[in-house]
Structure 1
């Protein structure tokens, strides 16, 4: 009887594992399906794209589409360069400012601290569209309209509030005694931030930086509003060039979209171990 019960329990356990595995695979397929459609479309001709029923990686794959958006007359390499400059700069500046702001909120106790943090996070409820007009006037008066600097400032302004909120919860649980020991050894408060606090919260800093990078990489509102010169256009702007009033060249647009995702995928692969550490530490902190 015991053997039978053990076999039944093992069978139930195996069925449970298979069910969970099947559910995971179903979710994975659902998540990857849009990417598969994008890559499949990018390797077709226009006539194949609009034909019905659709085909999947069939016939002569049109790798020429990737050549055209890389080295041809529809090249997006300059746009990728501009987007990387804007995104990397915005991410770096956002992280530095957010560390200082989150540290101040954590270490300098004031009566309205909770309300101040609530005001910071509440700014995320408003659409960036509301900031376009006042920013346009400010940038025009400052003489930095139609420059990559205007995009960097705009993206930093929208990503810092969330970054401050993310970093505050990590800095709050770091014992102040660690900094006090550094102060005794001659460190200033600013040195203590970057030599004591920052190394401890590296996973959360990288997570915050990735959030700022992706947010800036996908920006279209500020790019459309502030950039006029063709040599300063970002990848999000260039992706709209494949659409016209009567026709959308889906094959080249999908090839450009697939190419534009490569930088973010590479960055995510490089820093994924730090993201996992950040998630683990957030689950056990306090």
Structure 2
């Protein structure tokens, strides 16, 4: 047996061959990037439990020496303004989600199944609109809503945010509708269903992952939007949580304890949506990805 053959056999008998090393390196990289992404959330939670002295101590502490619950008590028990802001944010998020689904699902289905003239141009327009920053729409929408008396109202914010979420919802749901076989609709037509009947009775139930994906993401867009409420709402009783958090940033400083405590609670809906809807969001985004 030659020296090369012995070395080859010794390498294959080694428990840490090249494949094992690749697995170990990928695992280490995965753990590293996971820690990097989770650390900001951990730091917000830890900072919300520190007192002012420890919050600005040098070097910083990675766990509070003495847990201070006063920011949570003062903002969620003694002062109820944050609950009002959260209720307004919930109205905006739910309204944006429902309006995006009600308008986006039929639009996406029509672009997927019907011979619409200028279909490619419409899809290109939806993609281009996604690149525009919200600040470009804020002032024109403020002028339009002022003329029809919608300024300083939650419906105005819902309509404004929907201008951003509707193209997104259409682009996400259309490939999913394309992935469904046309034979399902043909069978429904034979049984006497109209086009709308086949859409609501056959296509919509089968498109549940895609609909849940769009619902979850548009809900989060409505929940986290800051610019449109800042532009359209001046009444403190109608402001959402994003503007309520902004109140802790003053001219002479930042109330970091209160800001961190409220930010933790504000992030909970986002975390819960991704924890419980991760399977649907993932499957809905990749379904029909190769369809044209």
Question: One fold, TM greater than 0.5?
Answer: yes
- Is the CA contact (8 Å cut-off) linking 2:46 and 2:64 kept in structure 1? no
The 1-side partners of 2:147 and 2:154 are apart by: 16
Aligned-pair CA distance for 1:121: 1.4
Instruction: Choose which of 208, 216, 241 in structure 2 pairs with 1:210.
Output: 216
- Is the CA contact (8 Å cut-off) linking 1:43 and 1:63 kept in structure 2? yes
The 2-side partners of 1:269 and 1:261 are apart by: 12
- Is the CA contact (8 Å cut-off) linking 1:46 and 1:249 kept in structure 2? no
Aligned residue for 1:183? 189
What's the C-alpha RMSD, in Å, of the aligned pairs? 2.0
Aligned residue for 2:238? 232
Aligned-pair CA distance for 1:53: 1.4
Instruction: Choose which of 71, 74, 79 in structure 2 pairs with 1:73.
Output: 79
The 2-side partners of 1:267 and 1:254 are apart by: 21
After TM superposition, the structure 1 = structure 2 runs for residues 83-98 of structure 1, keeping only pairs within 5 Å, are 83-98=89-104
Aligned residue for 1:246? 252
1:129-182 deviation digits (Å, cap 9, x = unpaired)? 111122112222222221111111111111101111111112123222211211
1:67-92 deviation digits (Å, cap 9, x = unpaired)? 22212237411111111111011111
Aligned-pair CA distance for 1:285: 6.2
TM-score relative to the length of structure 2: 0.91
1:235-284 deviation digits (Å, cap 9, x = unpaired)? 10011111111110111101110110111212222222212332553467
Aligned residue for 1:109? 115
The 1-side partners of 2:260 and 2:134 are apart by: 26
- Is the CA contact (8 Å cut-off) linking 1:68 and 1:75 kept in structure 2? no
- Is the CA contact (8 Å cut-off) linking 2:175 and 2:291 kept in structure 1? no
**Unaligned ranges ≥5, structure 1:** none
Aligned residue for 2:25? 19
Pick which of 8-17 and 129-138 moved more: 8-17
The 2-side partners of 1:125 and 1:233 are apart by: 27
Aligned residue for 1:122? 128
Aligned residue for 2:275? 269
- Is the CA contact (8 Å cut-off) linking 2:110 and 2:116 kept in structure 1? no
- Is the CA contact (8 Å cut-off) linking 1:83 and 1:234 kept in structure 2? yes
Q: What number of residue pairs does the alignment pair up?
A: 286
3-state SS in 2 of match to 1:242:
coil
The 2-side partners of 1:6 and 1:116 are apart by: 57
Aligned-pair CA distance for 1:11: 3.6
- Is the CA contact (8 Å cut-off) linking 2:152 and 2:233 kept in structure 1? yes
**Unaligned ranges ≥5, structure 2:** 1-5
Aligned residue for 2:3? none
The 2-side partners of 1:67 and 1:194 are apart by: 47
The 2-side partners of 1:121 and 1:256 are apart by: 35
Matched, 1:6 2:25: no
